[in-house]
Amino acid sequence: MKPEVLLMGPMYGPTMEALEAAFAVHHVSKAADRDAFIASLADRITAAASTAFRGMDAATMAMLPKLKIVSHFGVGVDSVDVAAASARGIKVTNTPDVLTDDVADLAIALLLAAVRRVPQGDRYVRDGKWADKVFPLTGTIQGKTLGIVGLGRIGRAIAKRAEAFNLKLAYQGPHRKADVSWPYHANAVSLARECDFLVAACPGGEPTRGLVSRAVLEALGPEGVFVNISRGSVVDERAMIELLREGKLGGAGLDVYDHEPRIDPAFFTLENVVLQPHVGSATHPTRRAMGQLVVDNLAAFFAGKPLLTPYN
């Protein structure tokens, strides 16, 4: 008999196939009554797999007394209550490194798209306006300063790309990094004051909620552009929308939002934002690699071997 895995929500198709091939998978998303379904499996389930949209909260853990591992699809584990898992002796694994380059690519794409108004230019050509009037000139990223909120794996990959685009760099985070020479700021307001553009690349969840506050965005200013590839919770979204509407923040390039995928419709009316549907890691090779880690961590757990990418 295959070992049993509780799948909290749908994943990348090939990952679901790999999970089905290796394990007896119980799909929470297919249950008519979620809690009754989980309760019916409670005496057997030792392993679960979760996603950014279908995580593992403390209440669900409490329903699964034999749970020992949550194999999470994604590097950000804010949809998993890691503190509750640790308290119950449940191991959480995530999928670091394999997605870093794709996410960093998207951050730079969003920055360029927002500053050079790439989507607006595309619409201008499609709407047949070019023949009548040249497209208005835009700002540039050349010689400007990019502030990175969270100089981790993705933040560093963004920095590497930014240097190739002649951007100067500065960063903010809990720890100053000994191996980089870019200016360090202990808080995000002081970082934003020194920068033309800001990119959030830190984790989401309660510890960073509202870190990119109204004051940070005001410090970035009317010529400033904010890029978010971390989590919607990191920015004060209401303040961001107001400042964008009033021209007090120049622009934004966003991959993540509060209340995804039903985002605030106010975004649709703003001309100075570039919007992506949370696709930082959404390329086939990266999603395949992430899925392989989800499967391999579960396989290691059932084989009694060390986990590949433990988070807690």
Which residues ranging from 18 to 47 are in contact with ligand NAP (CB under 6 A)? Answer: none
CB closer to ligand NAP, 60 vs 281: 281
Give, as ranges, the residues between 151 and 190 that touch ligand NAP (CB under 6 A). 151-155, 172-175
In the complex with ligand NAP, the residue whose CB is nearer, 105 or 242, is: 105
The residue written with tokens 């009033």 in the block is 246
When the beta carbons of 161 and 231 are compared against ligand NAP, the nearer one is 231
Catalytic one of 278, 284, 287, 288: 278
Which of 91, 132, 96 has its CA nearest to residue 305?
A: 91
- Report whether 171 contacts 151 (CB < 8 A): yes
185 among known catalytic residues:
no
Pairwise CA distance, residues 74 & 242, whole Å: 31
Segment near ligand NAP (CB under 6 A), from 14-22, 23-31, 223-231, 292-300? 223-231
260 belongs to the catalytic site: yes
Question: With respect to ligand NAP, which residue has the nearer C-beta, 60 or 286?
Answer: 286
Dmax over CA atoms of the chain, in Å, equals 70
Residue count, binding to ligand NAP (CB under 6 A): 32
79 near ligand NAP, rule: CB under 6 A? no
- Is the separation of the CB atoms in 192 and 224 below 8 Å? yes
- Asked if 300 contacts 307 with a C-beta cutoff of 8 angstroms, the reply is yes
Can you name the residues that pair with 80 across neighbouring β-strands? 56
Q: Is 230 in the site for ligand NAP (CB under 6 A)?
A: yes
**298, 49 contact by CB (below 8 A):** yes
**Is the bond leading into 261 cis (omega within 30 degrees of zero)?**
yes
Q: How many CB atoms lie within 10 A of CB 215?
A: 15
Report how far residue 289's alpha carbon sits from residue 180's, in angstroms, rounded to the nearest whole number. 29
* Residue 147 interacts with ligand NAP (CB under 6 A): yes or no: no
Question: Does the protein bind ligand NAP through residue 149 (CB under 6 A)?
Answer: yes
75 binds ligand NAP (CB under 6 A): yes
278 in active site: yes
Q: Which residues form the interface with ligand NAP (CB under 6 A)?
A: 75-76, 96, 99-100, 103, 149-155, 172-175, 201-204, 207-208, 211, 229-231, 255-256, 278, 280-281
